[in-house]
Structure 1
Amino acid sequence: MTKLFTTTALLTALAMPALAVEPAEGETLAETQTYTYWLLDAIKSLDPALNTDVEGSDAQRNLYEGLMIEDAAGAMIPGMATSHEVSEDGLTYTFTLRDANWSNGQPVTADDFVYAWQRVVTPETASEYAWYLELMNVQNAAAIVAGEMTPDQLGVAALDDKTLQVTLTTPTPYFINTLSHTTTYPVPRAVIEEHGDAWTRPENLVGNGAYTLASHNLGVEIVFEKNPEYWDAENVVMETVRGVTVNDNNVALTRYQAGELDRVQIPAGQYPRLSEQFPDQAVSVPYGCSYAYVFNMGENGPEALKDQRVREAMALSLNREVIVDQVLQGGQRPAYSWTHWAINGFAAPEGGMEDMPMEARLERAAELLAEAGYGPDNPVRLQLQYNTDDNHRLLAIAAQQFWRPLGIEIELNNVEWAVHTDRLQSGDFEVARYAWCADYNEATTFLDWFRTDGYNSGKWSNAEYDELLAEARTAEDTTPLYQRAEEILAEEVPAAFVYHYSKVDMINPAIKGLPTENLRNTWYAKDLYRIAE
């Protein structure tokens, strides 16, 4: 397979000097540089090939570094790659890697990326994010995931120790934006081959990020220490980072106020009060995640949810404005699309239930249920599953109350995060709370979720939808395609979209460097510092 190209349409020189973390005028660095942040749930995996959640991504950005990283506004800047070239046809990317070491002192090479990416798509790895390399349009990824080709046929090659070449199946304008995601991180082959599944234990884990794994007490806390082997270690100020798991958000807030945590999510309904009392600590900024109740339309799903009229009635009767304005109260927005409103270049389609008064929505919902043979005298009975969190509980209770008058009886089922995600993956649920956070700042990061072969826990399928997303990969103007895709979601209702996130936190004013303009809230502890209080 020929990998070389002779013409280069674009040379992007990214080799910029590292910017040292420095206190602003009037600030003095604290003698002890520590940062302690809140985790709602246990981190499922520290293996980049197996990670699926935000908490795991936050941890892995400290332990590893990919080709690209993000700045405070979410723009792509150099990580392991100092520069890259793109072929004239837009199909071949050639990256030059910087001189960098793993935490055990061994050099990071292009082969570490080749091995990592091949490992993700290898069926035996059972990576839930194998589809991500398909979405990136890496050559042969889809066929390898399907078991039709071997991993060594993936379109990624090490030309030498410091030159990595990636071949795509089609020009992909957002490709560079995908490269800060944890799934694309390098991993150390020798360590994995020596320790197997145990390679991510603190005594074994070797990373190339700014921190090493000091300890990990699953479901209690995780501790990172500054990595002296990191290529930019001299500019890393924060010495120790701790993630502390507290399943109860209100308890976590109490611990923040006691000085035990430096950052914590504000519980639903408390932002107005806290922002008034602590204007220098309470923060609400747009956050690229969307919250939904996913309907199981797969083999294990209930018969009632296979009727579009039931799903539409549930979506219509969900009072998003009450949820946002009276329950959450943190700057969130009602969701009538799956794609977050602040995603670059996205414009939601006009019309639909968003323009209907709530009274008209409820009337239409009752009509649809009656047509489907349901109502207060013959209720739809469903179980709504959500993972442990007081906000999720409050929203589930609200949904239960919205649906009950129409004849939709909801049993609430609270489970731990690991159980929740396992059941979503296996299709063992009826209605499930779910949220998707953008992997990169472009609409396909949301829309691809509902592809027939996407993450798509509810197993909904629509041929036109799949074709639209396939066409969008090479279209010059994606706006009408994305709008039509959202219209199909609104028509077929594979999920009831609830709200678009804001990041609503209490942050210790002594902690500096956390981003407030990055829609994905991508933070790196190497950019943080603590000032003397």
Structure 2
Amino acid sequence: MTKFFATTALVASLAMPAFAVQPAEGEQLAENQVYNFWLLDAIKSVDPAKNTDVEGSDVLRQLFEGLMNEDEKGAMVPGVAESFEESDDKLTYTFKLRDAKWSNGEPVTAGDFVYAWRRAVNPETASEYAWFMELMNIVNATDIVKGEKSPEKLGVKAIDDKTLEVTLTTPTPYFIKTLSHATTFPVPQKVIEEHGDAWTQPGNLVGNGAFVLKSHNLGVDITMEKNPEYWDAENVVMQTVKGITVNDNNVALTRYQAGELDRVQIPAGQYPRLEKEAPDQAVSLPYACSYAYVYNVSEKGPEALKDVRVREALSLALNRDIIVNNVLQGGQKPATTWTHWAIEGFDQPETELATLSQEEKTQRAQELLTEAGYGPDNPISLTLQYNTDENHKKLAIAAQQFWKPLGVNITLNNVEWKVHTDRMQNQDFDMARYAWCADYNEASTFLDWFRTDGYNSGKWSNAEFDQLMADAKTAEDTTPIYTRAEEILAEEVPAAFVYHYAKVDMINPDIKGLPTENVLNSWYAKDLYRLAD
């Protein structure tokens, strides 16, 4: 076995405690260590195996801790794992666990990880993220997800209480990067077996994170308090973390300005003004999420969208420059690929979207629709679904206007987040607004979404694309593979890629410790502290 450390921070962690929050010279801590953050929608689940959204992950990162965490720049640093060894063939990882406890005082063991990972891939759990374990290339994960092998066959085992061994089917360069994802967090078997689905309720939930669940009023707020049993509790300054759900972004901004929220997304178009008015609060940072209109090309989808010429025409006609410069105005970039431009090691290919002027793209869109037999004299009627948010509404209205001159009549359909995702998963839509945020800092986190058996709500399928993503798992150089995969997406157009996110927020300057250089925007309340006014 070869001793291997992911980062210098990991080496340092063996001799030093994890990042200890310390105010800078001259800073004075507030007596009231509370952090209030904005949630657009209700948290669907605080079960690590059943969460599917970014906001849920933000909460889970406080209640649970995996083998690894991320530092302020997104580098991997120790979580429950103090160290690990990688075998010479890069197929076996052996993790040594620190002395960590659950919030009920019982020790966190390697067996807790084994149970959690088996539970995530078990079809009976119905985890929508079971595929993530396949993406990690853990032995037998795919067969277990398909129901062809038992969860006990998963390539993970406890050598002893402090030693976890994971076996992969193939060398996976990004494997360590996956270990800060919520799907890989340990869960308490005894608690789940005692309470069943109610194990995530306040009073029942037992976690191993820096905070414990105090209350959860679905669609209203969720409150977490410092966990005295957390292994590094002495270095956690923040006492209470509260997520407050406000469906209207403008109302949320008003509540921020009233001092009720410490961080909130800036509504579309307001960043230039707020940056001038409050330069110490308004921020725009690269954020590895991509926004798209997904086409339903399944049997349940509209006939027009089964024609690639129609899909390409709709994509070409979207004036992305107007969307980012006139509507959003927050430092976002037009999307010509699904993979976010800031992802480590990604090279964007030259496509029509990237090289043509908007005038040329619109002309090409008209030609394609004419070839397909559509136009103002034979219009296409489609419904565009989006979840509740003023920004989504503004963009949907803009798209509607871009498409109307082409003879494409769009009906807008606004639904709540849970309804929206349920309909997408069941292919009950024509076109749907969606965004994907990176689960780890590598292009496959985006591209795997479009695999035939990936998340892929529109049910597009391409054999060459699937093969490329399979080949990428063992390739020494993935760059040409990912480039070709993006070229296929540009040719087949399973979705209209709209823009790449920036994290455009108002942040209370009294709150310190939030990351500004992590493109995944993974934040940990254990690293936060509030300054006195």
Aligned to 1:89: 89
CA contact (8 A) 1:15 1:78 kept: no
Residue 363 of structure 1 and its aligned partner are, at CA, apart by 1.0
Aligned to 1:8: 2
Residue 9 of structure 1 and its aligned partner are, at CA, apart by 6.4
Matches within 5 A, 1:117-196: 117-196=117-196
Matches within 5 A, 1:73-88: 73-88=73-88
Aligned to 2:383: 383
Aligned to 2:107: 107
CA contact (8 A) 2:351 2:490 kept: no
Q: Which amino acid aligns with 2:457?
A: S
Give distance in 2, aligned partners of 1:329 and 1:518.
Answer: 21
Q: Secondary structure at the match of 2:238?
A: coil
CA contact (8 A) 1:513 1:529 kept: yes
Structure 1: unaligned runs, 5 residues or longer: 1-6
RMSD: 0.8
Give distance in 2, aligned partners of 1:303 and 1:114.
Answer: 46
Using structure 1 for the length normalisation, give the TM-score.
0.98
Give distance in 1, aligned partners of 2:83 and 2:393.
Answer: 47
CA contact (8 A) 1:10 1:87 kept: no
Aligned to 1:504: 504
Aligned to 1:358: 358
Distance 1:16 1:438, change over 3 A: farther
Give distance in 2, aligned partners of 1:198 and 1:16.
Answer: 40
Structure 2: unaligned runs, 5 residues or longer: none
Aligned to 1:4: none
Q: Deviations over 1:222-246 (max 9, x none)?
A: 0000000000000000000110000
Q: Which amino acid aligns with 2:176?
A: I
Matches within 5 A, 1:293-332: 293-332=293-332
Q: Deviations over 1:275-327 (max 9, x none)?
A: 00000000000000000000001121111100000000000000000000000
Give distance in 1, aligned partners of 2:147 and 2:106.
Answer: 33
Give distance in 1, aligned partners of 2:208 and 2:373.
Answer: 59
Q: Which amino acid aligns with 1:295?
A: Y
Q: Which amino acid aligns with 2:422?
A: D
Q: Secondary structure at the match of 1:367?
A: helix
Residue 353 of structure 1 and its aligned partner are, at CA, apart by 2.2
Aligned to 1:231: 231
Q: Deviations over 1:462-485 (max 9, x none)?
A: 000011111111111111111100
Give distance in 2, aligned partners of 1:421 and 1:172.
Answer: 30
Aligned to 1:457: 457
CA contact (8 A) 1:91 1:167 kept: yes
Moved more, 400-409 or 344-353: 344-353
Aligned to 1:3: none
Q: Secondary structure at the match of 1:394?
A: helix
Q: Secondary structure at the match of 2:432?
A: strand
Aligned to 2:27: 27
Distance 1:11 1:516, change over 3 A: closer
Give distance in 2, aligned partners of 1:9 and 1:523.
Answer: 29
Residue 16 of structure 1 and its aligned partner are, at CA, apart by 4.5
Give distance in 2, aligned partners of 1:521 and 1:506.
Answer: 15
CA contact (8 A) 2:351 2:487 kept: no
Q: Which amino acid aligns with 2:121?
A: V
Give distance in 2, aligned partners of 1:177 and 1:114.
Answer: 19
Q: Secondary structure at the match of 2:83?
A: strand
Residue 354 of structure 1 and its aligned partner are, at CA, apart by 1.8
Give distance in 2, aligned partners of 1:513 and 1:9.
Answer: 31
Give distance in 2, aligned partners of 1:422 and 1:307.
Answer: 25
Q: Secondary structure at the match of 1:206?
A: coil
Give distance in 2, aligned partners of 1:198 and 1:227.
Answer: 21
Where in structure 1 do 4 or more consecutive aligned residues deviate above 2 Å? 7-16
Aligned to 1:257: 257
Q: Deviations over 1:398-448 (max 9, x none)?
A: 000000000111000000001011111111111000000000000000000
Aligned to 2:64: 64
Alignment of 1:212 onto 2:212: yes
Moved more, 470-479 or 304-313: 470-479
Q: Which amino acid aligns with 1:279?
A: P
